[in-house]
A = this chain, B = another copy of it.
Amino acid sequence: MADDTTALGAAPGETSDAPRAWRTVLDHVETQLLAGALRPGDRLPGERALSTELGVGRSSVREALRVLEVLGLIRTQAGSGPNAGAIIIATPSGGMSALMRLQVAASGFPVADIVRTRLILETAVAADLADATPQPDLATSNALLDAMDSPDLTPAEFLALDAAFHLALAEASGNQVIAATMAGLRSGIEGYARAGLDRLDDWHETSARLRREHRGVVDAIRAADAPAARTRIHEHISRYYAETFIDPTPTPDDPDRRPADREHSAPW
C-alpha cells in the first residue's frame, strides 16, 4: 500500500506533524505484529535495514528497539547466525518489573497500592487454583516450599524463595497477565521487603510461621477448598506486611496528587 511517507516524512528538523521518528519504528513493528507478519521467534530486519526501509536514522531505530527490549518484546544479540539480531520474544514479566520498579522509585505507585493489588490478585489466584477442575500442577510451588524448609537459609534467601513461591502459584493458574503483573508487583516492592526484614523481632519464628501458612494455602488448594485458600493467602500476605512495614499508608501528600478518596481502609 504505497508507503507514501516519502523521504520528507522524517526529515532532521521535522515540524508541524512530527511523528517522532522512533515512534514511526515502534508503530511499524506493532503493525507488523498485529498483521501477523511478525510472530514470536521471528527476526526483525537489521537496524540498518529498518533505518533505510522506514526512512529514519539508525539512532531512531535503536531508540525504538531499546524500548521494545525493555518492554520484553524483543531480545537482541550481536554477532551473526540464526540467534543474532533482534528477535521477537513475548516476555512481559521483565517489562512489567521494570515499569513497576521505576514507578515506585518515582513515587508514581504507592507501595500500599501495590500490596493491595497483590492481595487482590493472589486471593483470586488461590481461589482459582482450588476450583480448577484438573488439579493444577503445583510441583514447582512444592519444590520451593521444600527448599524453604532448609534450616540454613539467610532471611534474604528465604525471601527470594518466598517470592518465587508466590509467583509460581500465579503461573500455575495459567493466567499470563496475572503472572507477569505479580512479577512486576514483586520487584516493585522488593527493596521495601528486604528493608522490612530488619523490623522483624524474631526471624526464626516468623519464617516458621510463613512456612506453615504456605503449606496451609497449598493444602486448601489441594482440598479444592476455595474459601479457605482465599482466607489463608489473604491473611498470610496481609499479616506479613503488617509486620514488616511501619505504616503502609499511601503517599503523604504530593503537591500534584489530590489526597481525595484515599482512606478506603480496605481490610488487608
Tell me the A residues contacting B by CB distance below 8 Å: 22, 30, 33-34, 38-41, 59, 62-64, 66-68, 70-73, 88, 90-92, 95-96, 98-99, 101-103, 105-110, 113-114, 116-117, 120-121, 124, 128-129, 131-134, 136-137, 172-178, 180-181, 185, 191, 250, 254-256, 260-266
Contact = CB atoms under 8 A, between A and B. Distances in A.
A62 B64 CA distance: 11
B68 A175 contact: no
Candidate in A71, A107, A132 with the most chain B CB atoms within 10 angstroms: A71
B90 A128 contact: no
A264 B132 contact: yes
A75 to B, nearest CB: 12
A44 B77 CA distance: 30
Number of copies: 2
Given A113-B178, A132-B261, A172-B261, A30 B62 contact: no
Contact of A72 (B33, B96, B103): B103
A179 to B, nearest CB: 9
Contacts of A264: 128-129, 131-133, 136, 173-174
Contacts of A250: 174
A108 B176 contact: yes
10 contacts: A41-B256, A62-B63, A67-B70, A70-B70, A90-B108, A90-B109, A99-B99, A103-B180, A173-B261, A174-B250
Given A70-B67, A264-B174, A99 B95 contact: yes
A214 B103 CA distance: 32
Given A73-B106, A109-B90, A117 B33 contact: no
